[in-house]
Structure 1
Amino acid sequence: MNSRERFYATVERKPVDRPACWLGDPTPEAVPALCEYYHVDNIKELKKVCGDDFYAVEIPYKSPTCSAIFAAFDWYMNGSDIDTEHRTLTAEGCFAQCEDIEDIEAVNFEWPDPALYIDPEECRRLVDEAPEDKVVMGMLWACHFQDTCAAFGMENCLMNMISDPEMVHYVDDRIVDFYVKALKIFLEATKGKVQAILIGNDMGSQRGLMISPKLVKEFVIPGAKKLVEVAHSYGVKVVYHSCGSIVEAIPFLIEAGVDIIHPIQALAAGMDPQNLKDKFEGQVSFCGGVDTQELLPNGTPEQVAAKVKELRTIFPTGLIISPSHEGLQDDVPPQNIKAMFDEVNKIY
C-alpha cells in the first residue's frame, strides 16, 4: 500500500498493511533538533524521510493584520498582527460590551473577505510541492467557536450563550461564512490534489467538555457540518481536531459527517483508546494515541514502541497513529519520534 491507499483504508476501517502515521505539525522550536537527528535541512525533507504518510499544507493567508488564517480576525481592532504566541481567548474583544445584535453592528467591525487574502496560485504551488504518494492535508483550522469566544472575550461569550444566544449565533455565523468561503477557494484551486482537511475547535479540558453537550450541539456542530459538507462535495475527507476530553461530543461530530477524530488525547478523561474503540467502533476513525503529556517527553524509545504495539492491537485499522497533540514540542527527544515511526512502519 502507498500512503494514500493506506489513508483511505483507515478512514473506511478496512484492512491495512500497517497503520497510517502522521508526525503532526511540530512547533518551530522543535524542528531544529528533529532535522539534526534525521540529517535533513528542513521540515519538508523531514516529512519525506521519517516515515510520515501525510504532507500538511497551511492554507496561505496574508492580510494587512495577519499572516495566518487562524488569526484572520482583528478582534482588538488595532491593526495588529496577532501571532500564535500572543493570541488569547480571554482578553476582551471588540464585542465585549455588546448587549444585542444592534450593538454588534454599531461596532462597525471590518469582517475580512478571504477572497482578498488567499491567492489560488499560491495554494496550487504549495500543494504541488507535496510528494506524489503522500496524503495532502489542508490545514484550515476554522476554529469558529474559539474565534467567537475571542470576539467577546471567553467569559463574556460563555455567559452570552445562555443569556443572549442570538447575539453569539450572529457572530459565529459570520465567522463560519468566512471559513466556508476560504475552504471553497482552497479546494477549487487544488481540485483533485487534496485528500483531507483539518478543522476543529478546542472544546475539551483534561476532565471533560468546557461547555455542556447541549451547547456544543447548538454552537459548535452546525458550523462543523457546513464545513464537512463543502469538503465532501470535493471528495475530501475531514479530520476534526479538539484537544482534551471530548468523548461526549463525538456522537455529534459523527452526525455532522466527520471522518476522523483528532487527537486521541489518551490521558484526558474517557479518551483512552480502548474506551473509544468500545464506544465508537465502526462509526468513525481516529488519529493520535501516542501521549505527548508524559510518554513522548519523558519515556524511553522502548516505552514508545510498546505503546504503538498496544495501539495497533486495539486498532488494527481505523487509527492514524500520531502524537496526541499535533504541535509537537521541543521537549520531545527525537529518538522517541523515531521509535514511534519505526514501530508503525513494521509489517507484522
Structure 2
Amino acid sequence: MNARERVLAVLNREKPDRVPVDIWLVPELVEQFKKELNVEDELDIYRKLDVDKIVWLGIPYKGVILKDPNEHQEINHWGVKFEAVQANQGVEYGEVSFNPLKGLETLEELDAYPWPSPDDFDYVTAAAEAKELAKEFVTLGPWVSLFEVYCQMRGLEDALMDTVMNPEFLHKALDYIADSQGEMVRRFLEAAEGAIDLVFLSDDMGSQTSLLMSPDSFDEFLFPRMKKWCDMIHSYGARVLFHTDGASEPIIPRLIEAGVDVLNPIQHVCTGMDCKSIKAKYGDKIIFHGGVENQKILPFGTAEEVAQETKMCLEELGPQGYLPCSCHFAQAGTPIANVMALIETVQNFSL
C-alpha cells in the first residue's frame, strides 16, 4: 500500500498493511528535516521517510485587504491583525494584536462590517493542487472555524462573555462567519471534483482541565452550524476532521452526532481524555488522529520515552481506527531523533 491507500483503509475501517503514521511539523522543523535528508521539497521528507502524510490544502485569497501601509503587522481577510512574537532564538509566532469586532455593540454594526466574500478565493488554482496531491496522498483542507474565528475577531474574554451576556450579537456574527466559510468550502469541494478527502474544522473547546464553554452553549451556538457544514461536506463525498485541544470529552457525543468523522488530537493528559476510556466509549463511532503527547514527552523526553508513549497510544487508541501523530505540531527545538522515534515505532508496530 502507498500513503494514500493506507490512510484511506483506516478511514474506511479496513485493515491496512501497517498502521499509517502522520507527522505535523512547524516550519523550523521542516527546514531541519530538509537539511538532514538533503531534499528541497517538503513532500520529499515524507516520501523519503515513508510517512503517510495527510497533506494540507489551502485556497489562495485574491480579495483586497485594506491595510495601513505604515503598519508592519500582518492582517487576514477577517480584518484580524497579527504581530510576530519571538518565542526563542530564531523562532517566531503570530499573535493576535487587533480584534476588529471588539467594541462593537449593535447588530447594525455587524451588518455594516466588511465580511469576506466567497468570491474572493482562487478555487481553480486550489482545485488543481488538490487533484495533483490526491494522486499520492490523502488531502485535508481547507481550515475553517466558527468560534475560533469569532474569538480572534472579538477577543477571547468578550467572546466567552457573549455566550451569556450578548447571545443575539454572537448568533448574528456566527451566521456571517458560517455562511462565508460554508460557501467557500462548498465551492472548493465542487471545483476539486472528489480530490478533497477531509475538511479541517477547528474550534478549540477545551483547557487542560475543562471545557471553555458549557455543553449547553456548545449546543446553542456551534452544534447547528457545525452539523450544517458536516452535512454539506458529506454530500460531496468528503469527510470531516475536527480539531479541539484539551479536555473536550463532554462534547464528543455531540461532535459524533454533528457528523464529525475524525477527532484530533486526543490530548490524553487532559481531564477526561484517557486513551482507554475514550477508545471504549467512542472508538466504534469516530476515527482518532494524534495522541502522542506534545507538551513534555515529544519535545523534552528521550527517543526511548517517545517510543514508549507512541506504543501506548497505538495499543490504547488503536491499532484499528487510529491515525498516529503528535498531539499538535511538533514544535521548534524538538529533537529530530524524537520525531523519528515516533515514526519508526508506528512503522514497526505489528497489527
Q: Which residue of 2 aligns with 1:15?
A: 15
2:31 alignment partner in structure 1? 32
Counting only pairs closer than 5 Å after superposition, residues 270-285 of structure 1 correspond to structure 2 as 270-285=272-287
Pairwise mapping of residues 182-221 of structure 1 onto structure 2 (< 5 A)?
182-221=184-223
Determine which of 96, 101, 104 is the counterpart of 1:98: 104
| Structure-1 residue corresponding to 2:60 | 60
Q: Distance in 1 between matches of 2:101 and 2:137?
A: 42
SS at match of 1:265: coil
SS at match of 1:204: coil
Cα contact 1:176–1:223 (8 A) shared by 2 = yes
Alignment partner, residue 336 of structure 2: 334
Q: Which residue matches 2:225?
A: 223
- Aligned pair count reads 333
Unaligned residue ranges in structure 1 (runs of 5+): none
Distance 1:217 1:27, change over 3 A: same
Aligned partner of residue 40 in structure 2, secondary structure = coil
Q: Which amino acid aligns with 1:65?
A: I
Partner of residue 250, structure 1 = 252
Q: For 1:93-132, list aligned pairs within 5 A.
A: 93-105=99-111, 108-116=112-120, 118-130=121-133, 132=135
Deviations 1:180-202 (A, max 9, x none): 11101211111122211211111
Check whether the contact 2:10–2:323 (CA below 8 A) recurs between aligned residues.
Answer: yes
Deviates more, 1:329-338 or 1:6-15: 6-15
Q: 1:71 to 1:254 in 2, by over 3 A?
A: farther
Structure 1 stretches of 4+ with a deviation exceeding 6 A read: 81-84
The 8 Å contact of residues 65 and 81 in structure 1, kept in 2 or not, is answered as no
Q: SS of 2:250's equivalent?
A: coil
Measure the CA separation in 2 of the matches of 1:297 and 1:94.
35
Q: CA deviation at 1:103?
A: 4.2
Compared CA separation, residues 92 and 40, structure 1 to 2 (3 A): closer
Q: 2:119 is aligned with what amino acid?
A: A
Match of 1:72 among 69, 77, 80: 77
Tell me if the contact between 2:134 and 2:195 (Cα under 8 Å) persists in the aligned partners. Answer: no
The amino acid across from 2:105 in the alignment is E
2:270 paired with 1:268: yes
Return the structure number with greater relative CO, CA threshold 8 A, min gap 6: 1
Partner SS state of residue 57, structure 2: strand
After TM superposition, give the deviation of residue 82 of structure 1 in Å.
Answer: 7.1
Using the alignment, how far apart are the partners of 1:248 and 1:59 within structure 2? 33
Aligned to 1:141: 143
Percent identical among aligned pairs is: 31
Q: C-alpha deviations, 1:54-76, integer Å up to 9, x for none?
A: 2222232243339xxx942015x
| Superposition deviation, residue 178 in structure 1 | 0.9
Structure-1 separation of matches of 2:281 and 2:36: 39
The change in CA–CA distance for 1:273 and 1:13 in structure 2 (over 3 A counts) is farther
Question: Do the aligned partners of residues 134 and 94 (structure 1) sit closer, same or farther apart at CA in structure 2, a change above 3 Å counting?
Answer: closer
Distance 2:130 2:280 in 1: 37
Contact 1:55 1:135 in 2 (8 A): yes
The 1-side partners of 2:128 and 2:295 are apart by: 35
Residue 167 of structure 2 is aligned to residue 165 of structure 1:
yes
Query: How large is the RMSD of aligned CA atoms in angstroms?
Result: 2.3
TM-score by length of 2: 0.87
Distance 1:64 1:82, change over 3 A: farther
Alpha-carbon deviation of 1:317?
0.7
